[in-house]
Chain A
C-alpha cells in the first residue's frame, strides 16, 4: 500500500507492506536510525517520535495509521545543521551517557512542552513516564530540561 505523510517537514510516501510498523519504516525505508528499537512493545520509549506534536511509540503504529500525519524524528530537530536548544541542554548537562534512550527522551520532552510549556519537576517526571533510562537515574535529564527552561526564560 502507498501511505503519504509528512516526515521531518517534507512530504513523503512509504511503499512498505501493510504489516509493518512505523518504527520499521523509519529505520529501514527512510534510514532514520536515530529512532531506536528497544522493547518493541510500547514499554521503553526508545522508539519515540512526534506524531502531530504528540510523543508516541513508533513501534505501536502500523504504517497504515500514519496516513496524513506529521511525523518528527530526532533527526528532524537538527535538520538545519544546528542542535535544537533541548538537545544542547542535554549535551551540556551530562544527560547523555550511553545515548540509547536520548533521541526518544528528547522527543518526549518536546512532546511535553507542546502540551505544557512550563512544567514543574513533578509534571516533568510524569510527562516522561513512558521513557526508560538505565544509565543516568533520570536526575541529569530533569536538570537538563530545567536548565533549558531557564535559558528560554532569559532569552525570551
Chain B
C-alpha cells in the first residue's frame, strides 16, 4: 500500500543533518505525519526515506525567549492549545490550535508541519502569520529567522533553503494586546477551513495604534487586508466604524471555488467574520 521507504529517527541535530545530506531530496522530514501519511498512502509522494524529527530537542518545548514566545516545530496542537504561556501571550493561537482537526489529530499534528505544508487554509499557520510570527531555521552553519510573511511563498512552497530545518516558531508577545482567531468550516470538527482569520490590535486608551488582519483560504497564501488595517489605525473601535470593513475584505481577497465552498461565499463570509471579530474585540476581549 505504501511505497518502500526507510525510517530514520535521529536523536541529535548533527545526526539529522548527516542523514538529510546522505538522503538528499529522496528523504522527507516527518513530524506528526498527519498530512504526510495521507500523501504517502496515495503515492503522491514516494520518498526513499522519512526522517522523524520528534526526538530533536531543538524542535520541542515552549518557552519565553525575551519578548518572543518560542514554540518547537514538533509541538503538537494539543500541547500548544493547553500551554499556559501560549494561553497568556498568544490566546488566539491556542484557539486556532484547538480548532485543528479532532482530538486524536491534535495529539499528533504539529505546528511546524502545518507551516511547512504551507496550505493557505492552515489554522496554525494563519494564526502565527496574523500575530507577526517568524520561522527559526537551523542549518549546520547558522540559524536564520524569517518572518512568515517572507517564508510562505505559496501552497506547499516555503523559503526553506537546502540544508535547513524549521526548528522553532517565534511569536512576539509585546506587539498586540487584543487578538482573536476565527474559523469557518463545513462541520464542527475534522474540517479544513473554508475561511479562517486572525485579527490582532494594539490599543492604547481605546485607540487602535497597530492592527493586523490576516485571512486564510481566500488566496494562494495567507493574505493581509492593508486597507482595513490602515482604516482602523488611530480610531476607536465603536459603532458605525466597522460597517465598511466587509467590503474592504471582499475587494482584497482572491478565493477560488473548490469542493468546500464557492469563491463568492468565501469572499462574503470572510468580510462578515472579520467584522464580527472586530466587534468581539471591541467588547474588550483580549
Q: Which residues of A contact B (CB under 8 A)?
A: 1, 17-21, 24, 40-43, 45, 48, 51, 54-57, 59-65, 67, 108, 111-112, 126-130
Which residues in A have their C-beta under 8 angstroms from that of B33? 60-62, 65
For B103, give its contact among A61, A62, A67, A129 (CB under 8 Å).
A129
Partner of A19, one of B4, B32, B108: B4
Contacts known (A41-B38, A45-B104, A129-B102); A19 close to B52, Cβ less than 8 A: no
| A42 close to B103 (CB less than 8 A) | no
Bound form: Cα–Cα A69–B239 in Å: 55
Binary contact track B215-252/A, C-beta < 8 Å → 1, others 0: 00000000000000000000000000000000000000
**Given A19-B2, A19-B7, also A62-B104 (CB < 8 A):** no
Asked whether, in the complex, the Cβ of B41 is within 8 Å of the Cβ of A40, the reply is yes
Q: Scan B159-197; emit 1 where CB is below 8 A from any A CB, else 0.
A: 000000000000000000000000000001110000000
- B window 9-39: CB within 8 A of A: 9, 30, 32-34, 37-38
Tell whether, in the assembled complex, residue A42 and residue B101 are in contact, meaning their CB atoms are under 8 Å apart: yes
A126 to chain B, nearest CB (A): 8
- The reply to whether A60 and B7 form a contact with Cβ atoms under 8 Å apart is no
Size category of the B interface is 20 to 34
A-B contact pairs, 26 of them (CB 8 A): A17-B4, A19-B2, A19-B7, A21-B2, A24-B1, A41-B37, A42-B34, A42-B37, A42-B104, A42-B105, A54-B104, A57-B108, A59-B37, A60-B32, A60-B33, A60-B105, A60-B108, A62-B7, A65-B33, A65-B52, A65-B54, A67-B9, A108-B103, A108-B104, A130-B102, A130-B189
Across-interface contacts of B3 in A (CB, < 8 A): 19
Once the chains are docked, how many angstroms separate the CA of A129 from the CA of B6?
33
- How far does the Cβ of A142 sit from chain B's closest Cβ, in whole Å? 15
Number of A-B contacts (CB under 8 A): 88
- Docked Cα-Cα span, A149 to B70, in Å, equals 40
Q: Is the CB of A19 within 8 A of B103?
A: no
Q: Does B63 contact A (CB under 8 A)?
A: no
- Chain B hits for A111, CB < 8 A: 103-104
Interface contact A21-B104, CB-CB below 8 Å: no
Q: Contacting B37 at CB < 8 Å: which of A21, A48, A128?
A: A21
**CA gap between A129 and B34 in the complex, in Å:** 16
Partner of B190, one of A21, A43, A127: A43
Q: Cβ of A62 and Cβ of B101 under 8 Å apart?
A: no
Nearest-neighbour CB distance to chain B for A135, whole angstroms, equals: 18
- Asked if A20 contacts B101 (CB within 8 A), the reply is no
> Can you name the residue of chain B whose Cβ is closest to the Cβ of A59?
B37
B94-116: CB near A (< 8 Å → 1, else 0) gives 00000001111101100000000
Residues of A within 8 A of B2 (CB): 19-21
